[in-house]
């Protein structure tokens, strides 16, 4: 068992996910869960912001797609940006650490819960900006609590391209930049212009350009890694993205599996609606679209990221192991402090090429197959996709963590690769 996390000392990820929820579908919803949690009449309104506040312990399991997680000591539901800012500022000023959660689609929370303030982000709003926008570009400002897939559906309905391959990703728009979500050849990084952040150090709201967020493969300066402090400690309040009006056509298809399913060559364009429909079907076939009746979807999606390793190390793996080259940062700028500049600029040392490996292939070839379950456990590998760890009904966070550690140990023993978990871990160690 893990120690019960308490307030600031728990150091949860500042923003797990920020979409409104419901019991039947944790990846999207309304205030139903909050109303249930506060049905004992102990809910009060914040005098400063109007946010709903409950001192009743709220079961976090009801708000995550894993369906695990003990109670939070208190809950604040913020439906406007002002309410969200006030709630987070008040918690920080009290030297406490808030746990922000919404869709709960990328989190694993301890069975002991969270002895602090759970802030549920239920903000909404999609605004089109027309001033100083290039022709053919559609600029949108989106509140953190908006459903990500709802935003994709809105874009596709209007014939706008740029995020159609990101259909079906659960959770919220506020969580999207933290790990630079991506799938089927598209990443948020390619459309993100800026984010509105509430900075922990200054307690001020600032607009930060996307190129200052250190966006990379499932990471950013906003993300905590293995419990470490993020480089930029802040809460996402909203995002700004640029889409393209291609007359209803998608961006060029850039992922082989998607191209095959669509029956086209890489680089071709199709109707954005056709791309979205195909992506949703692909995700559903892997148990990656939430379905309350299907335990294969009671997960956090892909539990491990695809490891990026040196090319020389990759050559030690079996030839059949899939690998893809990783773009090097050839345009990286070297900054030399003025007081250290000697008049000579040294040529940077050459960097070894890196490649990305398939975590799913490594797991399967380490002997952990779809449907695998440790004896007596209620957690299992999905029957549809090796990368998904699932709750088969009644699983605990400890059981899911135990399965994750087993998978890690098998892959490390077989291939020398330590897989890194993708979900945010709160009070849980992998």
More confident residue, 335 or 177: 177
Tens digit of each residue's pLDDT (9 = 90 or more) over 230-274? 899 999 999 999 999 999 999 999 999 999 999 999 999 999 999
Most confident segment among 33-47, 69-83, 349-363: 69-83
Q: Return the SS3 of 304.
A: strand
pLDDT of residue 55: 73
pLDDT of residue 366: 98
Q: For domain 126-285, which CATH number applies: 3.30.465.10, 3.40.50.300, 3.30.1240.10, 3.65.10.10?
A: 3.30.465.10
pLDDT of residue 332: 47
Strand order in the sheet with 299-302: 299-302, 388-391, 379-381
Under the banding of pLDDT at 50, 70 and 90, the label for residue 340 is low
The answer, yes or no, to whether residue 12 has pLDDT greater than 50, is no
Domains 7-121 and 126-285 agree in fold: no
pLDDT of residue 63: 85
The single-letter DSSP state of residue 2 is: P
The pTM of this model reads 0.80
What value does the mean pLDDT take over residues 295-308? 94
The answer, yes or no, to whether residue 334 has pLDDT greater than 60, is no
pLDDT of residue 397: 97
pLDDT of residue 344: 66
Yes or no: say if 52 and 38 are a contact pair by the CB < 8 Å rule.
yes
pLDDT of residue 2: 35
The answer, yes or no, to whether residue 33 has pLDDT greater than 60, is no
Question: 7-121 sits in which CATH class?
Answer: alpha beta
Which residues sit opposite 242 in a β-bridge? 139
Question: 292-430 sits in which CATH class?
Answer: alpha beta
Where along the chain do its domains lie? 7-121, 126-285, 292-430
Q: What is the dihedral of CA 400, 404, 410, 416, to 10 degrees?
A: -170
pLDDT of residue 393: 95
What value does the mean pLDDT take over residues 212-218? 92
DSSP 154-223: HHHHTTEESSGGGTT--SBTTTTTTTT-EETTEEGGGTEEEEEEEETTT--EEEEEGGGS--BTTB-TT-
Tens digit of each residue's pLDDT (9 = 90 or more) over 131-151? 999 999 999 999 999 999 999
The answer, yes or no, to whether residue 17 has pLDDT greater than 60, is no
The answer, yes or no, to whether residue 378 has pLDDT greater than 50, is yes
What value does the mean pLDDT take over residues 65-89? 94
The answer, yes or no, to whether residue 391 has pLDDT greater than 60, is yes
What value does the mean pLDDT take over residues 289-309? 92
Q: What is the dihedral of CA 182, 187, 192, 196, to 10 degrees?
A: 20
Most confident segment among 67-81, 101-115, 343-357: 67-81
pLDDT of residue 53: 79
The answer, yes or no, to whether residue 23 has pLDDT greater than 80, is no
Tens digit of each residue's pLDDT (9 = 90 or more) over 277-286? 999 999 999 9
Least confident of 69-73, 166-170, 346-350, 410-414: 346-350
pLDDT of residue 93: 95
Tokens of 252: 């060029």
Tokens of 317: 């793996």
The answer, yes or no, to whether residue 226 has pLDDT greater than 90, is no
The answer, yes or no, to whether residue 38 has pLDDT greater than 50, is no
Integer-rounded Cα Rg, in Å, for the chain is: 22
Q: With DSSP H G I counted as helix, E B as strand and the rest as coil, what are the percentages for the chain, rounded to 5? A: 25, 25, 50
Question: Where in the sequence numbering do the catalytic residues fall?
Answer: 218, 302, 422
pLDDT of residue 338: 62
pLDDT of residue 7: 37
Contacts of 333 (CB under 8 A, 6+ apart): none
Computed over every residue of the chain, the mean pLDDT equals 86
What value does the mean pLDDT take over residues 92-98? 91
What value does the mean pLDDT take over residues 83-97? 94
More confident residue, 97 or 188: 188
Q: With pLDDT > 90 as the criterion, what percentage of the chain qualifies?
A: 70
Tokens of 259: 């191209």
What value does the mean pLDDT take over residues 352-379? 96
């Amino acid at each position: 068992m893990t120690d019960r996390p308490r307030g600031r000392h728990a150091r949860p990820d500042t923003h797990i996910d920020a979409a409104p929820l419901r019991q039947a579908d944790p990846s999207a919803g309304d205030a139903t869960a909050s109303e249930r949690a506060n049905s004992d009449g102990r809910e009060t309104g914040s005098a400063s912001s109007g946010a709903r506040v409950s001192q009743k312990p709220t079961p976090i399991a009801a708000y995550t797609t894993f369906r695990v997680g003990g109670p939070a000591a208190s809950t604040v539901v913020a439906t406007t940006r002002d309410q969200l800012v006030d709630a987070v500022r008040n918690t920080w000023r009290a030297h406490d650490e808030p746990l922000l959660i919404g869709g709960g689609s990328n989190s694993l929370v301890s069975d002991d819960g969270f002895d602090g303030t759970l802030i549920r982000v239920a903000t909404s709003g999609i605004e089109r900006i027309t001033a100083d926008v290039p022709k053919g570009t559609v600029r949108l400002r989106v509140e953190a609590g908006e459903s990500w897939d709802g935003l994709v559906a809105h874009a596709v309905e209007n014939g706008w391209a740029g995020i159609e391959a990101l259909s079906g990703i659960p959770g919220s728009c506020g969580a999207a930049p933290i790990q630079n979500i991506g799938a089927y050849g598209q990443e948020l990084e390619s459309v993100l212009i800026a984010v509105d952040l509430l900075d922990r150090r200054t307690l001020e709201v600032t607009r930060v350009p996307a190129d200052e967020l250190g966006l990379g493969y499932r990471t950013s300066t906003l993300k905590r890694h293995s419990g470490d402090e993020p480089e930029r400690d802040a809460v996402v309040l909203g995002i700004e993205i640029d889409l393209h009006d291609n007359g209803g056509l998608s961006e060029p298809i850039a992922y082989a599996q998607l191209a095959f399913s669509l029956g086209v060559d890489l680089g071709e364009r199709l109707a954005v609606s056709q791309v979205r429909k195909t992506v949703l079907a692909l995700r559903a076939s892997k148990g990656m679209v939430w379905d309350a009746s299907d335990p294969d979807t009671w997960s956090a999606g892909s539990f491990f990221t695809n490891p990026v390793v040196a090319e020389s190390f990759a050559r030690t793996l079996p030839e059949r192991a899939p690998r893809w080259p990783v773009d090097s940062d050839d345009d990286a700028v070297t900054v030399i402090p003025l007081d250290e500049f000697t008049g000579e600029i040294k040529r940077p040392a050459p960097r070894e090429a890196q490649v990305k490996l398939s975590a799913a292939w490594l797991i399967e070839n380490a002997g952990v197959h779809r449907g695998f379950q440790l004896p007596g456990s209620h957690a299992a590998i999905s029957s549809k996709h090796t990368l998904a760890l699932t709750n088969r009904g009644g699983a605990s966070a400890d059981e899911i963590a135990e399965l994750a550690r087993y998978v890690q140990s098998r892959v490390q023993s077989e291939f020398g690769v330590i897989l890194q978990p993708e979900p945010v871990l709160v009070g849980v160690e992998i």
